[in-house]
Amino acid sequence: MEPMSAQDAMFLHVENDVTPMHIGGMSIFAGPPPGFDELLEMVRGKLPRVPRYRQKVRFVPLGMSEPMWVDDPYFDLAYHLRHSAVPAPGSEAQLRTMAARVFSQHLDRARPLWEIWMVEGLKDERWALLSKVHHCMVDGVAATDLMSVMFSDEDGSSPPPAWDPRAEPSDLELLVRGASHRVLHPAEQARAAMRTRPDLVRGTLGALRAMAAAAPGLRPSRSSLTGAIGPHRVWSWARVGLGEVKQVRASLGGTINDVVLTIVAAGFRDLLTERGDEIGAQRVVRTMVPVSVRLPGERGVYNNRVSAVVARLPVGTDDPAARLGEIREQMDGIKSSRQAVAGEVLTQLSGFAPPLLLALGSRVVTRSARFNLDTATTNVPGPQQPVHALGRRLEASYPYVPIVGTIRIVVAIFSYDGTLYFGVTGDRDHAPDIETLSRGIEAGLTALTRQAAAIPA
């Protein structure tokens, strides 16, 4: 048995009938596709390196502790690895439609919380792997490490050791372990709090200054981007060259992330314009930007180590270069305020909260998102060299993240082998038009590139 962290448990607690909380993506490979049995054996050979993939969640009676990870004695790989196809010659639009249906479905909580779908029928002899893994298992950065494990040709040839699961605990054993964990856990948290007290004070003060600066923009949202959501999803994607992004950064200033946020702002500007929303000069789209606080030595540790900052995308600014300048100035201010550091320290301290209160608090935060957020934008670095599965090269990898609460559209970015891949998730009932946002992202970089090229060398 292994207790789940407070932050990981939050992603279970916020899940409801209309909010499945898994992340994932679509990885498209050069063909011809392998045999499904061949893929099954490859994945079986990698499972010893990711033990969480053969564990399931058990809730502790009476909420005495966070949920526990336990070995699944009935683990069946064939249940988690699925086989499907689109009508040949399948287009990317058909692939996205199929993926949106799969992403709309909840993972089975009685089993390990992941699925991989092999999809055939794509034109040009390509094939794809659609992956789903619950957010309580990994954050975006850890999921990148998992992809490297599952979709590489290393250590997959020798037979895996026999799976010998530990006996599943009874409810009484869970209760005893949960109670002991609750007794011992605050002491460790107190020691961590004492070690990090200077960072807590400095970081919290910085965060308060950042929040005060942002206060004029944190008013209740009246945007079409927020409101009630339904159970069904629509998914779109875009891609841009990382080299072009770097050229813009070199000519116009800022960081790669500043440029990425600028072209996302261009996409939202196009979307809101097409919808007929009012876009004045001061109009912004408020986005949560997750920030990884995983330490260098923590690669391969499959848990959630993220904080977040709030950025305002200046969609009311017409000139692309001026929009980049505003975002650059804003993000520089956020960095100097140490807002992300404060967020991480407070996340650590959330371990003090009884799990039942944490569950309620998580839901309250999610339902209150409409008061200060319009969307979320997450940027995850991936491998910058080709990745292979069964000798087939990974050509493209589009990420998927869930919409939560009253946020109807979210954007995820994954960098791989010199390209930035954007995955845009929307609520089918209220955001069926997210293709406009995807096209606007690509057009936004084109506009910035044009302005960068006009600057004398």
Q: Counting beta carbons within 10 angstroms of the beta carbon of residue 451, is it exposed (0 to 12), middle (13 to 18) or buried (19 or more)?
A: middle
Q: Where are the beta strands (DSSP E) in 306-359?
A: 306-313
Do 235 and 423 touch, CB atoms closer than 8 A? yes
In 3D, which of 164, 173, 142 has the Cα closest to residue 58?
173
The Cβ-side half-sphere exposure at 96, using a 13 Å CA radius, reads 23
β pairing state of 233-241 and 306-313? unpaired
Residue 80 falls in the annotated catalytic set = no
- In the numeric block, which tokens belong to residue 58? 């058990």
Between the two ends of the chain, the Cα-to-Cα distance in Å is 61
Which listed residue (13, 22, 80, 135) is catalytic? Answer: 135
411 DSSP β-pair partners: 377, 424
Instruction: Order across the sheet with 68-71: list the strands.
Output: 2-3, 68-71, 55-58
| Cα–chain center distance at 254 | 24
Residue-level length of the chain: 457
Q: Which residues contact 42 (CB under 8 A, 6 or more apart)?
A: 156, 389, 390
What is the set of active-site residues? 135
